[in-house]
Amino acid sequence: MKAIRRLTVRPVLPDPLRPLSDLARNLRWSWHPETRDLFQSVDPGCWSASGRDPVRLLGTVPPARLAELARDRRFVRRLTAVADDLDHYLTGDRWYQDQPGRLPAAVAYFSPEFGVTAALPQYSGGLGILAGDHLKAASDLGVPLIGVGLLYRHGYFRQSLSRDGWQQEHYPVLDPHELPLTLLEEADGTPAHVALALPGGRDLRARVWLAQVGRVPLLLLDSDVEENDLGERGVTDRLYGGGSEHRLLQEMLLGIGGVRAVRTYCRLTGHAGPEVFHTNEGHAGFLGLERISELCEKGLEFGAALEAVRAGTVFTTHTPVPAGIDRFDRELVARHFGPDSELPRIDVERVLRLGMETYPGGEPNLFNMAVMGLRLAQRANGVSLLHGGVSREMFSGLWPGFDADEVPITSVTNGVHAPTWVAPEVFRLGARQIGVQRAEDALAVGGSDRWDSVADIADQDIWELRRTLREQLVEEVRERLRASWRQRGAGTAELGWVDEALDPDVLTIGFARRVPSYKRLTLMLRDRDRLMDLLLHPERPVQIVVAGKAHPADDGGKRLVQELVRFADDPRVRHRIVFLPDYGMAMAQKLYPGCDIWLNNPLRPLEACGTSGMKAALNGCLNLSVLDGWWDEWYQPDFGWAVPTADGAGTDPDRRDAIEAAALYDLLEQRVTPRFYERGASGLPDRWIEMVRKTLSLLGPKVLAGRMVREYVERLYAPAAEAHRAMDPDSARALAEWKARVRAAWPGVSVDHVETSAATALAELGATLGLRVRVNLGDLAPDDVEVQAVSGRVDSEDRITDATTVPLKSVGGPDLEGRWVYEGPLALDRTGPFGYTVRILPAHRLLASGAEPGLVAVPSDELAEAAGLLMR
């Protein structure tokens, strides 16, 4: 019979075991082996059956077993030690507390998804896992972060396969009471709520759940409350589900409701209010509007409030393609803002102007969340060096007149949280060399450029470790493969072959990620005969483990999954290539360590970062990847192999895939498999082991989330906090008025004349030219601008590359026509074709960069020609 109502009955723990509840509710257990080992020892059978989830475990352990443990003095001593360790971790000073200078009192970090642990399934892929790793690393470093997201009652979908290999989606309902969450409550014990005004006088209400991620609180907003109508209750039903209005309401709740949740949390707990707000992708961009509205309620005008909000906001873009950005119809956004809806103090046209694509090539009737994110943030970044460049090109229309490399978007390359992703066996091998505490610090905090102690590990130990991890993966794959085939309708008699699937002594390749077309799941199938030869080679076989989910609405992606599954179902190769459905964190934690090669073959440059290869590398797995994302930045032959790309302008997509697939097969046949199977004098694959060693010692420290978060603190959070403090109401008003005055006067700003001391178009290296420039500033004064000389090598079309800028100095007052003269030296510091130009930028002490206002004046074409600005 089916129950008419469901409720959660929590166990009553004996007094000596009460700390177990605190340990279960703090998600540090997800990356702290001693805490997990403690929970496993409570009841190994229940631990396994609960999916290694302490909250579920404590709900299933028989009372008799709890009573037995309460009397077990050895267990209670162990519990006390682990609880004391957590208390020290939560209260002691860490890296952040030891830094000089005045760092932010708190940082609010907003993301649409968070992948902290499989026990809290609120993620779909890399963006969420990155956000979860960001919180964990911030906790390890002591950074006072507050995470903000939504609680999706169905999470992301669970994936299974039909008999013919078609992806099927399932949406299990999540009960927050059965998750490692607590309800945020007011002082009187009632649930804390936030509310948004909707058109037609309705409200969207949400309560706030708290997940404690080590030292970091993660606030998750949940609209499934009785006060809402049925439609509003479903706003937080699924991650990335629903139509445009559904997504808009999710993003309004995340951004606007999220700021209100942070304010409520700080009021109730005494946590310091955030000085910096970090928007992880554009989904949470409305948080800037809510903060502007807060300041308007305190009497600040919109323009001044905008400047104050921008100063303390950081925006991270994760997508290298316009199609990956949420865009909404102008009228839909307009309907949800203004006097009868949300943020009534802000004029709707001002809201719309922040997100409209008012640049060449933009869609003027679409509201772009990433564009709004950039306009509301004084500091922005991509997530790898290459992606930073792609982002500057992609969004250059917002800064007309500037070369793409001057667009104010920097990059902080992603990292991964090593304590989460490094296999316990790998950690123990490192701890044997340098001790447990130093090993923990090296993984969590980082800070060194290399892990030299890896050099002292014997080749035999490294090779035995790799085989152990591979063997564990084989066991995991067989278990999952059997379960998958049973779901597909296979009987026991059909599954005898599963016991022979994969071999712990065969070179193992992993490929696991989301399945959009640009990641090219099926590139490996391009020449099936060559792939079969690789899989079935008599002396040097390979085996491949593949996993990944296609978006529920992406039938093209589902066809790719089906194509690969059907190939893997072939009885000739099914012991050598497998597809595992329902890719998630639990699977990934076995997959990364167990593979010898991590394969990544996206269309370059469409992979923003690609952190899965980082997780593999931390376990001694070598990368075989297209030079995209982080691999483009840090690839060395010591760490793996680079798949050549065929990205010439005249190469059509089909030919490009054919060329790159052939290059992949060549690498595997000629370089990868021979190196894995060749044996040196010791009987071990010496050259392979050396690559594993170099990957761990040189690449390992680079790919850490601890390194990433330290970069965010030093390069973005600290400057943003400083700018926030400088932007008091008077300064904000003054900056807003100055910007308005400069924009109004800018049409009258021009470069009128340029002359140089060079007599000819030839000069010697090391010489210095004298520049004299006459400019018209219109209604502006020299204090409002900076006049610069820009110089560098020039290409065949006379564009300056690798430019150097030097400010010129004003000489005397304006002439009779109101023009100003600027002078300065220009050093000829490089040989070959050399060019220079001059330009005028707005200048103000509160600007983060001269490009920030998006205004520039350069010589007219006629003036440039007359000045002879090129030297050859």
* pLDDT tens by residue, 206-233: 999 999 999 999 999 999 999 999 999 9
The CATH number of the domain holding residue 563 is 3.40.50.2000
For residue 222, the surrounding DSSP H or E stretch is strand 216-222
Say whether pLDDT at 578 is over 80. Answer: yes
Task: Please indicate, yes or no, if residue 41 is contained in any of the structural domains.
Answer: yes
In a domain, 717, yes or no: no
* 416-457 pLDDT per residue, tens: 999 999 999 999 999 998 898 899 988 988 888 889 899 999
Cα–Cα distance between 414 and 213 in angstroms, integer? 19
Residues 583 and 511 reside in one and the same domain: yes
Q: What Å distances lie between residue 368 and 196, 239, 285, 428, 654, CA to CA?
A: 21, 19, 10, 48, 31
693 pLDDT above the threshold of 60: yes
The per-residue pLDDT for 764 is 73
| Residue-wise DSSP of 227-245 | TS-HHHHTTTSSTT-S-HH
Q: Positive or negative CA dihedral for 390, 393, 399, 405?
A: positive
Within a domain: 416: no
Q: Kindly state whether residue 790 falls inside one of the protein's structural domains.
A: yes
Q: Phi and psi of 603, rounded to 5°? A: -75, 115
- 786: how many CB neighbours lie within 10 A of its CB? 17
Region 561-579 average pLDDT: 97
**H or E segment at 625?**
strand 622-626
- pLDDT tens by residue, 631-658: 999 999 999 999 999 877 667 889 999 9
Q: What is the mean pLDDT of the chain?
A: 93
Is it the case that residue 191 has pLDDT exceeding 60? Answer: yes
Given 59, 91, 123, which residue is the final one in a domain?
91
Q: Model confidence at 869, in pLDDT bands (50, 70, 90)?
A: very low
Same domain, yes or no: 807 and 856:
yes
769 backbone dihedrals φ, ψ, rounded to 5°? -95, 150
**Residue 605: what pLDDT?**
92
Segment 373-416, tens digit of pLDDT? 999 999 999 999 999 999 999 999 999 989 999 999 999 999 99
In a domain, 647, yes or no: yes
CA distances from 704 to 459, 606, 611, 640 (A): 25, 22, 10, 18
Task: Examine the fold and report which residue of 91, 120, 138 is the final residue of a domain before the chain moves on.
Answer: 91
pLDDT score of 864: 58
Instruction: Please give the pLDDT value at position 863.
Output: 65
The pTM score is: 0.95
**Same-domain check for residues 612 and 493:** yes
Does 245 lie in the same domain as 176? yes
Share of the chain above pLDDT 90, in %: 82
pLDDT digits (tens, 9 = 90+) for 503-516: 999 999 999 998 98
Mean pLDDT value of segment 122-150: 96
Residue 468 lies in a domain: yes
Average pLDDT over residues 730-742: 97
Which residue from 820, 33, 863 is spatially nearest to 426, judged by alpha carbons?
33
Residue 826 near residue 791 (C-beta atoms within 8 A): yes
Strand order in the sheet with 800-807: 800-807, 785-794, 834-842, 870-871
Q: How many domains does the chain have?
A: 4
CA neighbor of 621 nearest in space, from 649, 641, 602: 641
250 touches 265 (CB < 8 A): no
Q: Which residues of 69-78 are buried (b: 16+ CB within 10 A; e: fewer)?
A: bbeeeebbee
Contacts of 353 (CB under 8 A, 6+ apart): none
Tens of pLDDT, residue by residue over 803-861, are 888 999 999 888 888 899 999 998 887 777 888 889 999 999 999 999 999 999 999 87
Question: Of 701, 718, 738, which marks where a domain is finished?
Answer: 701
| Cα(489)–Cα(603) distance, integer angstroms | 36
- Joined together, the tokens standing for residue 428 give 């123990």
Q: How many residues does the chain have?
A: 872
In the chain, what percentage of residues exceed pLDDT 70? 97
Residues 185 and 318 reside in one and the same domain: yes
- Let me know whether 682 and 776 are in one domain: no
Instruction: Determine the Cα–Cα distance for residues 735 and 495; give it in Å rounded to an integer.
Output: 71
Note whether 377 and 456 are same-domain residues: no
Q: Which residue has the higher pLDDT, 660 or 870?
A: 660
Distances (CA, A) of 449 to 136, 320, 614, 701: 21, 29, 16, 6
Within this chain, do residues 471 and 400 fall inside the same structural domain, yes or no?
no
Residues facing residue 871 across a β-bridge: 834
401 to 378, 397, 790, 796: CA distances (angstroms): 19, 9, 14, 20
- Both tokens of 21, joined, read 């509840």
Among residues 342, 364, 361, 340, the alpha carbon closest in space to that of 351 is found at: 342
User: Six-digit token pair at 189?
Assistant: 């014990």
Identify the band that residue 324 occupies on the pLDDT scale cut at 50, 70 and 90: confident
pLDDT above 70: residue 868: no
Looking at the fold, whether 295 and 174 belong to one and the same domain comes out as yes
- What CATH number corresponds to the domain at position 804? 2.60.40
562 token code pair: 């089906």
Residues 43 and 114 placed together within one structural domain of the fold: no
**796 located within any domain:** yes
Q: What is the pLDDT of residue 871?
A: 33
The whole domain housing 825 covers: 746-867
pLDDT > 70? residue 104 = yes
> 36 and 87 in one domain?
yes
638 is written with which tokens?
């010591």
Reply yes or no on whether the pLDDT at 867 is more than 70. Answer: no
- Calculate mean pLDDT across residues 164-168: 95
Contacts of 762 (CB under 8 A, 6+ apart): 871, 872
Taking alpha carbons only, the member of 208, 252, 204 closest to residue 229 is 204
In a domain, 775, yes or no: yes
**Is pLDDT at 760 greater than 70 in this prediction?**
no
Task: Check whether residue 194 and residue 285 sit in a common domain.
Answer: yes
**What are the respective helix, strand and coil percentages of the chain, to the nearest 5?**
45, 20, 35
Residue 866 has pLDDT above 70, yes or no: no
Q: For residues 548 and 159, what is the distance between their CA atoms, to the nearest angstrom?
A: 9
Specify the pLDDT at position 165: 95
| Cβ-based neighbours of 829, under 8 Å, separated by 6 or more | 765, 766, 804
pLDDT, tens digit (0-9, with 9 covering 90-100), for 676-691: 999 999 999 999 999 9
Find out whether 473 and 545 touch, Cβ atoms under 8 Å.
yes
Residue type, 536: L
Q: Which residue type sits at 119?
A: A
Q: State whether residue 144 is helix, strand or coil.
A: coil
What pLDDT, on a 0 to 100 scale, did the predictor assign at position 767? 78
- CA 598 distance to own-chain centroid: 20
